[in-house]
Structure 1
Amino acid sequence: MKEKIRYGKVTQAEEFLFPDSELGVLPDKLRLAAAKNGRRGIQLLLPTLGEKAVCTFSSGDFTAEWYGMRAVPVEYNTGNGVAQGGGMVLMDPVEEKPPYAIRKAPFQVYDCLMPRPEGVVEAKDGRAAIYLCLVPGENIREGTCQAEVRVALEEGECRLLLEIEVYGVRIPEEEFQITNWFSIPAICRFHKTGQGEPAFWEVLKKYIALMRRARQTCFYIQLDKACVAGTDPYRFDFSYLKEMISLFFDSGMKYLEIGPLLSRGFREDGSPDMFTGTFRCMAAPEVDLDSWEGYEITVRFIRALADFLRENGWDDKVMVHIHDEPDIHVDSEKTLESRKRQYYLTASILRKYLPRVRIIEAVSTSGFRGGIDIWVPGTAGYEADREGFLRLTDLGEEVWNYVCCGPQGFWLNRFLDFALIKNRLLFWGCEANRLTGFLHWGFNQFPEGMDPFQATSCPNDTGLGTNFPCGDSFLVYPGTGKEAWPGMRLEAQRRGAEDAELLKLLRKKDRTLHDKLMGRLFISNEKYCDDPQVMEEVYEELLRALS
């Protein structure tokens, strides 16, 4: 019999591990609580001089998904601001770890998950880093289940017993809406394919599968000049998007997001005109919307888009972005009022030709009343205008949340130098505030020259401030060949979205207990408990209350 390995680190909690995480004596048994269809995760870090770890799993109730964890660099700590722009990362070396960060940069963190379906995980730098996702069987019963994890190393074998308490509740089908915006150019570049080629569709399916794994329900198709079929007069053809949109709907996605309809235009140096008061046509960014030519182009554009959506039966499944963040990057009240007038004009045209449309927009305030159907304030904007957004919610309007390069500091966000649990707590915040969806711009947004295995801070082409914070622009990784790899933050999103559905059930069943459990973890997007052990305790109480 192989010598038993008793030294390493194991955790089922919502926390990051690192290549230099402190190791200790391993427990003989690990206890977890799970819903009947919940997928719990376990991280294992084991020292070894060998080249690989061979993992096996024994259970009559669960099957195992094995992953090797790959460390990625965190070259900067995040700044301590709220607004977009400015010092979003601390470019100069810091003497001490910022109080809101998990470590002082630079450092490496295990975020990337490389699928290893056979359970063979490569070791690197003297450690085998393993992630195990437990998949319950269809007919699993309520009660205590036993399982055993074995990891064979050159030095011996690690054996870990699992005691999984399965509660008699199932996580509901998705009602909470999620969208993470994906990049077609990044897919093509990393996987060496062209849009529309057979290999492209094969790879895209892998990215869509990761979206659905994390309970994503909406997908964003960003329009560009590819839809322009002629310019004298302007004509538009969107048929090139049919195969892609169909692929997403066939995967189980519920809603198409599409847009934008307008553009900021560009400055002489080629950067976007962030503070403009004059919107331009998306398909002709040199033409002002307010001009006769701009009006004609916009009407033809929207009419063609509406016809395309109706012909394919998607006109009742579409959400349209007119212009992202219309009340952000505004230098005067005059600019804001000019943007608002142009936004309402475009909304009026859109609703004329596509009456079943819902207009969705990322905003900072509730000021664009009457123009937006699905409000998506940033978390800081929501807290600043909480009364306004609560009034919209009380009127039956739909309100979501989003995060991007801000807010930073102690605010909940998804950056790589923030505690992993903050990704999950964002969804507790959505449920606490009766929000019905969540938007994030960065699924795989890797601009030209960015490689997340070399650097995780995304370059910033807006001309406003530093690079974006590490990890802001992505949740997944380009795998080898035709593979797409998830990350720990994507897994945290999945668990957070599952929590939101369960919490909604509890709110209907027992509002007092719902509020009590919520209050142990979430007060606001700036005040919360980020202790993973408290999350474990509260999560089990939630499951018990629903059983």
Structure 2
Amino acid sequence: MANRPIEVPIIYSAITTCVASLLSVDIALYDELTPLYVDSKTNAHDIVEFDAPRNSYFALHILFNNLNIDEELIFDSSIAGDWYQLLAVPVEENTGLNSRTEQFDGLNNIHIIREAPFEIYEVLKPIQNLIQPDKKTLALRFEIPISEKMNPEAKEIVLNFTQNNKKYSKKINLNIHEAIVPPSGKSTICYTNWFNINKIATYHNLEKNSPEHLEMVDKYVDLMRRGRQNTFWVSWTHFFSDDLILDKNKLKNYINRLTKAGMWWIECAPLAHRPNGDWGSPYLQLRMGGGMLHTEDGQRDLKLVSTQLMESIEEFGWTDRWLQHIADEPTDTNAVQYDHVASLLDTYMPHIPIVEATMSRKLKNAVDVWCPQVQKFEENIDFFADQQKEGKSIWTYTCLIPGGKWLNRLLDMERLRQVYFGWAASKYQLSGYLHWGLNQYYGNPFEQSVVDHPAMPNTTNKLPAGDTHVIYPGLDGPWSGLRFEAHRIGFEDYELLKQLKQQNTAKYSNLMSEIFRKYNDYETDVKKYRSIRKHLIKSLNEISAK
């Protein structure tokens, strides 16, 4: 799936016409942010006015009821576009009120879109212009890449469907606006989903590090770029030998490969972790070699690997692109050890910023880029504002926490929550967003969405629905998910909001307050969001016209 310009100021005004004497198939158009389920009915479809900028995608979803099973459904459009079948995935348990699933603390979470179990359309499977339904209900997606070079104008799109010699059509007015979303890269907000290169090989039945594996990695990077991800994961262990010697050429080839594909920020994985996963330990253990970092042996190995890495960073010109993790989610418990390791790294890897998912204030001298969970950011908003004044950058992240009404990206939450990460970043002047799970599968993601926590299997400590991933291992490459697409829309909005804020702060503030106030206070009505987004885009048109 190529990284192509997307967005389209659109107005879908949908009128269905049947060319046969009787309408036997029911068809309705839906906004792509409206959740659809395998038991959804077409009697409550959206009639949406949708406007979008250039360098974006226009997309809508088509729901069919009462299809004839095993009879080919043929479709086409008056303007060329891409077609997808939407595949459903299960939601076995609901997200918890505070974290994980409801099983974990036994509290009822009312802030969900539907009670589990249910199946929700989520996966974008690319298809051609026909399909043979195996059920009476089917969901498709129609999408048009909107190039930056396209002229601002209104277009009428006709979607045609034929089954059993009966023809149906939908008409959509598509308005392309003057406003332009800048391409993702060095100058756009940092956005990272940690991806697992080994699971790319495993889930596509490829030999690790083979040419076929690397070609598949390219396809994953293309999809990440489509989603506006501009930050990529580098694992130390993938490039060091057992005796802690860096394979410099392997690292160079890998980074050059992802750079050529359009990624920019190099996010180097944590070099240490808690020994035996013990959250009560005050110590850290080096991932390579296993040395304890409070010992001379561990610190010797730390110097060995970090100085080799820094030599390559300087040799290949990566200094202004490199971001370094030390240990994931450090707390007050291991803050003293973390702070000491950070001081050592400052000697071995000078001028390389430390980014960390943490809420420990004890690390304010060690961390350059803070990355708190969204609810902790809100709880400590004054502290983080002060850190920004001192020149620190702030990202936020989510994972199996938080639940309830907080923004997150789980399958039983509104798709607007993923959109609003871009609005939150704009409101709070944040520099990035991080999530651990692009493709961190623990099972078949088409068949299982809630999985055991890998550290505590067979307990009520589970990873909630969709926490491990937002894309899917398709037949010939990765398939996008609707949560991933919603993230993209939100980060497109971030860039548009940035443009408006520079030109008209009053209008910016008014639009922001209409739909997003805090990480747990926002509008959930898709039509309200589309209306405000339309005002955002038209405001940029007016500025361009002056």
Q: Tell me the TM-score normalised to structure 1 length.
A: 0.89
Matches within 5 A, 1:343-382: 343-382=338-377
- Asked if 1:57 is matched to 2:77, the reply is yes
Separation in structure 1 between the aligned mates of residue 45 and residue 529 of structure 2, nearest angstrom: 22
- Equivalence for 1:12: 31
- Asked if 1:69 is matched to 2:107, the reply is no
Cα offset, 1:278, TM superposition: 0.9
What secondary structure does 2:154 align onto?
Answer: strand
What secondary structure does 2:487 align onto?
Answer: helix
Specify which of 523, 527, 545 is matched with residue 521 of structure 2.
527
- Asked if 1:276 is matched to 2:276, the reply is no
The one-letter amino acid of 1:472's match is: D
What secondary structure does 2:371 align onto?
Answer: strand
Specify which of 123, 133, 152 is matched with residue 143 of structure 2.
133
Specify which of 98, 105, 115 is matched with residue 104 of structure 1.
115
Separation in structure 2 between the aligned mates of residue 127 and residue 104 of structure 1, nearest angstrom: 21
- Equivalence for 2:101: 89
Separation in structure 2 between the aligned mates of residue 97 and residue 67 of structure 1, nearest angstrom: 35
- Equivalence for 2:3: none
Q: Is the 8 A contact 2:219 2:478 kept in 1?
A: yes
Specify which of 10, 14, 22 is matched with residue 41 of structure 2.
22
Once the two structures are superposed, residues 4-50 of structure 1 have per-residue CA deviations (whole angstroms, 9 ceiling, x without a partner) of: 667233112512111111222878x8642121222121000112114
What secondary structure does 1:32 align onto?
Answer: coil
- Equivalence for 1:85: none
Q: Is the 8 A contact 2:242 2:289 kept in 1?
A: no
- Equivalence for 1:395: 390
The one-letter amino acid of 2:102's match is: L
The one-letter amino acid of 1:456's match is: S
Matches within 5 A, 1:338-487: 339-447=334-442, 450-463=443-456, 466-480=461-475, 482-487=476-481
Matches within 5 A, 1:130-529: 130-154=140-164, 156-174=166-184, 175-224=188-237, 227-230=240-243, 235-266=245-276, 272-285=277-290, 287-327=291-331, 335=333, 339-447=334-442, 450-463=443-456, 466-480=461-475, 482-529=476-523
Separation in structure 1 between the aligned mates of residue 142 and residue 254 of structure 2, nearest angstrom: 32
CA gap 1:462/1:534 in 2 versus in 1, 3 angstroms: same
Q: Is the 8 A contact 2:373 2:398 kept in 1?
A: yes
Cα offset, 1:229, TM superposition: 4.5
Specify which of 28, 51, 73 is matched with residue 33 of structure 1.
51
Separation in structure 2 between the aligned mates of residue 26 and residue 293 of structure 1, nearest angstrom: 65
- Asked if 1:123 is matched to 2:136, the reply is no
Q: Is the 8 A contact 2:83 2:140 kept in 1?
A: yes
Cα offset, 1:176, TM superposition: 1.1
Separation in structure 2 between the aligned mates of residue 93 and residue 376 of structure 1, nearest angstrom: 26
The one-letter amino acid of 1:200's match is: H
Once the two structures are superposed, residues 255-297 of structure 1 have per-residue CA deviations (whole angstroms, 9 ceiling, x without a partner) of: 111121212121xxxxx22332111112133x32111111111
- Equivalence for 1:330: none
Cα offset, 1:454, TM superposition: 1.4
The one-letter amino acid of 1:89's match is: T
- Asked if 1:537 is matched to 2:542, the reply is no
Q: Is the 8 A contact 2:49 2:530 kept in 1?
A: no
- Equivalence for 2:7: none
Q: Tell me the TM-score normalised to structure 2 length.
A: 0.89
Deviates more, 1:45-54 or 1:380-389: 45-54
Q: List gaps (5 residues or longer) in structure 1.
A: 83-87, 267-271, 328-332
What secondary structure does 1:363 align onto?
Answer: coil
Cα offset, 1:132, TM superposition: 1.2
Cα offset, 1:65, TM superposition: 1.5
CA gap 1:238/1:326 in 2 versus in 1, 3 angstroms: farther
Once the two structures are superposed, residues 385-406 of structure 1 have per-residue CA deviations (whole angstroms, 9 ceiling, x without a partner) of: 1001111222332111111110
Separation in structure 2 between the aligned mates of residue 341 and residue 372 of structure 1, nearest angstrom: 13
The one-letter amino acid of 2:280's match is: F
Separation in structure 2 between the aligned mates of residue 504 and residue 187 of structure 1, nearest angstrom: 35
Deviates more, 1:423-432 or 1:129-138: 129-138
Question: RMSD of the alignment, in Å?
Answer: 2.3
Q: List gaps (5 residues or longer) in structure 2.
A: 1-17, 542-546
Separation in structure 2 between the aligned mates of residue 225 and residue 476 of structure 1, nearest angstrom: 23
- Equivalence for 2:11: none
Specify which of 39, 43, 55 is matched with residue 61 of structure 2.
43
What secondary structure does 2:51 align onto?
Answer: strand
The one-letter amino acid of 1:161's match is: K
The one-letter amino acid of 1:165's match is: N
- Equivalence for 1:269: none
Once the two structures are superposed, residues 411-458 of structure 1 have per-residue CA deviations (whole angstroms, 9 ceiling, x without a partner) of: 1110001111111112211111111211111100013xx001111113
Q: Is the 8 A contact 1:260 1:321 kept in 2?
A: yes
CA gap 1:9/1:369 in 2 versus in 1, 3 angstroms: same
Q: Is the 8 A contact 2:97 2:108 kept in 1?
A: no
Q: Is the 8 A contact 2:438 2:470 kept in 1?
A: yes
Q: Is the 8 A contact 2:90 2:117 kept in 1?
A: yes
Q: Is the 8 A contact 2:102 2:109 kept in 1?
A: no
What secondary structure does 1:56 align onto?
Answer: strand
Moved beyond 6 Å, runs of 4+:
none
CA gap 1:417/1:155 in 2 versus in 1, 3 angstroms: farther
Separation in structure 2 between the aligned mates of residue 352 and residue 191 of structure 1, nearest angstrom: 41
CA gap 1:324/1:25 in 2 versus in 1, 3 angstroms: closer
What secondary structure does 1:495 align onto?
Answer: helix
The one-letter amino acid of 1:253's match is: M
Separation in structure 2 between the aligned mates of residue 128 and residue 278 of structure 1, nearest angstrom: 53
Identity of aligned residues (%): 26
